[in-house]
Amino acid sequence: MLFLSILIGNCLAKLNLTIGIDINNKESLAYLGRLEQHYEQFEKKGLSLNILNHILPCYTCKQRHNYTQPEQNCFGGGRYCQFSTYANGQLLLTEILRQNCLFTYETQLFLSYLNLFQQDCFENPHYTFCSENILNKLLNINTTKVNECINASFQGQGDQALLENNLLAKEMDKQYNQSQLSVYLDNKDISDQTFPEMIVQLCQKLKDDPPEYCNIFSLLEKNTTLKLDDYIFFALFIVLLILLILISIRVLRRVKNVIQDKQSIPVEETIGIISGVNVQ
């Protein structure tokens, strides 16, 4: 499989991180977007980032019309498809192309865009407008060049619903078939690990020449470990203090009740009791 060959081929990189995403899976987009604040430091230390996109084929289009008829949720007559409840499949594929163009142009820009996209545009009915608004107003990117990249990826002229697409074909060739997040670090599957755990592994692999963030992270981790016992003792102290206060309140209430009971005894009865004692 080409997917496996990509992972093996990237072994020559100092540090290889491959992330598989699905345009309909917010978790995978959010995970990749979080890399925005860390990527530049790790990239300077040799990190190579690779993105895999989940794209579906139309399984019956070849038999039905040999990719010669337009399909609402596909390009290439059904060669590349996507489906969702909130957007047309062609809009989703166009978004994948947009992200692919941004990634090729500048990875850090791509991550900044994706981080905003997954927050503001995911399942947004005004899908394309939202996306272009991020590029124009928030990132100050000329969408004309991005659109030119998208259009140039189609082979030939005519209805794009029927045209083959170079970028989508490359994504299909990677044979990434997961509809959820997948993460590989130097060919090791770490998809079950959280984002912070992945960052820790990156730092460990770069321990001989770590980026500044790893030094800060390590210092925070050590301080947290050193102070853990203090936090435990402090928590126990608070618990004991609360128990002491509750016990004190309960005792005070009992004393108050006793005083109130004595005050409620009639004076005559008190005198009589005292007299009785005196007589004895």
Rounded Cα gap, residues 217 and 196, in angstroms: 10
Which secondary structure element, helix H or strand E, spans residue 217, and what is its range? helix 212-263
Contacts of 45 (CB under 8 A, 6+ apart): 14, 15, 206, 209, 210, 211
Q: What was the pLDDT predicted at 232? A: 65
The architecture of the domain spanning 2-210 is: 3-Layer(aba) Sandwich (3.40)
Task: Name which of 117, 109, 105 is nearest 23 in CA terms.
Answer: 117
pLDDT tens digits for range 86-145: 889 999 999 999 999 999 999 999 999 999 999 999 888 788 899 999 999 899 998 999
Q: Is the pLDDT of residue 166 over 90?
A: yes
Q: What was the pLDDT predicted at 263? A: 61
Q: Is the pLDDT of residue 280 over 50?
A: no
- Write the burial class of residue 226 (CB in 10 Å: 0-12 exposed, 13-18 middle, 19+ buried): exposed
Q: What was the pLDDT predicted at 149? A: 96
- Write the burial class of residue 58 (CB in 10 Å: 0-12 exposed, 13-18 middle, 19+ buried): buried
Strands 182-185 and 15-21: antiparallel
Q: Is the pLDDT of residue 63 over 70?
A: yes
Q: What is the pTM of this model?
A: 0.74
Task: Name which of 97, 115, 108 is nearest 29 in CA terms.
Answer: 115
